[in-house]
Structure 1
Amino acid sequence: MLGAAVFAFGQLKPFGSAGEEETIDRSQPAVLKSVRDLSQFHAAAGEFQVVLDIENDVKWVPAALAGERTLFVAAGSVNAYVDLGSLQDDGLIVSPDGKSVEIRLPQPRLDRPNLHHDRSYVFSQERGLINDLQALGGAPDQQRFYVAAEAKLAEAAKSSELLERAEDNTRVMLTGMLQSLGFQVKVTGD
């Protein structure tokens, strides 16, 4: 009888099971700090991935004792946009008869890379004995890998066709919009 009562009480788990963790989020709500109007047409986006191979050597010390080599996989996106708010006075010219319009597009630009933290990670890391001992003292600083990855993603975006695609897509969008309003359209680059 006593054994059945202990068994039943154990099945209820009034105190939770031993070793079970509970996460309590006591974070404050986000606060809106500012709002600004945008005049950008985001016309193209590129998804990129890069593998960084970064090695830190210590002069005159064997790698088995000191130094570190890290392979870091980074994934991110870069948007290309045209800032229509920067159209100059002569950037939008309507003909005297009101039937045609000429637009001089500003040059497209690239946004800062948006690193996807959920898909970026340290793939492998080799450390010397001294570096291993130092790592025991706390969490490793991976900020430098994220900074280097952003720079590599920005380089990749510059050498891709994103800017040309943004200019073409902006031209198509403006032409379609203005033609639907009855204008004959001529779009040129800045």
Structure 2
Amino acid sequence: MTTSIKRLPKRMPAWAKAITAVVLVLVVLFAGLRLAVLPGLRDLFGTQTHDRSGPALLKSIQDMSRYDAASGNFQVVVDLEKDAKYLPDAIRGTRTLYVGAGTVEAYVDLGSLAKNDVTVDSDRTTATLRLPHAFLGKPALDPNRSYAVSKQRGLLDRLGDFFSDNPDSEQAVQKLAVKHIGDAAKDSELTKRAEENTTGMLDGLLRSLGFKEVSVSYGA
């Protein structure tokens, strides 16, 4: 009578496990590369976006008494660099190149007019108006036309972004873009154009009401 002895499977050595793990990582990376290169495969495993936001709530209503007479479109390239003392940029530091596009409105405040700012003669043929100078509104950055061209970050900054969310990463360059757009609006002739357009609007309006002479001036 013969007895057969089954041999127990040998345990996989440590070096074989390491090689298997490396092969699995390479397979996963290769599969991800294939998904990125081939649009069909990428769409098969693509993500979907769902908007689950609640309804917008009306908080307040404000009556407007100003005439928006002109609008300027501006674009600025912001180059913001932050360095760390005693450390090279490759270790700690950031540099962002950002294109900011936005608009600035110029308006005339018609709600601040007093009774003596508008005079009409007895025949109702001549009207004289004294208006305040045009103002500049707050610059409005357009997110659809603003974008980061490049971002350079040191090793420590990249590690920090990896382990924590940083929603304010572009806030600094956006604030600078708004500031530069506002400064450019001040140096432009936007308020002058707004006063000219307001004068033309009032002149046409009053003449359509029967006035023969219309005089519009601007003061403090």
User: Does TM, scored on the shorter chain, surpass 0.5?
Assistant: yes
Q: Which moved more, 1:18-27 or 1:75-84?
A: 18-27
Unaligned regions of 5+ residues in structure 2, if any? 1-42
State the partner residue of 1:13: none
Aligned to 2:127, the other structure's residue is in SS state strand
Q: Deviations over 1:26-49 (max 9, x none)?
A: 211111111111111110000000
- Relative to total residues, which structure has the larger helix share, 1 or 2? 2
State the partner residue of 2:216: 187
Query: 1:70-149 residue pairs with structure 2 within 5 A?
Result: 70-140=96-166, 141-149=169-177
Matched, 1:164 2:192: yes
State the partner residue of 2:68: 42
The number of residues matched between the two structures is: 174
Aligned to 2:48, the other structure's residue is in SS state coil
Q: Deviations over 1:125-172 (max 9, x none)?
A: 111111121121244421122111111111011111100000000011
State the partner residue of 2:15: none
Provide the alpha-carbon RMSD of the alignment.
1.4
Q: Look at both structures and tell me which one has the larger radius of gyration over its CA atoms.
A: 2
Aligned to 1:85, the other structure's residue is in SS state helix
TM-score (norm 2): 0.75
State the partner residue of 2:6: none
CA drift at 1:58: 0.6
Of 45, 58, 62, which residue of structure 1 is paired with 2:88?
62
* Counterparts of 1:129 and 1:70, CA distance in 2: 15
CA drift at 1:18: 5.1
Unaligned regions of 5+ residues in structure 1, if any? 1-16
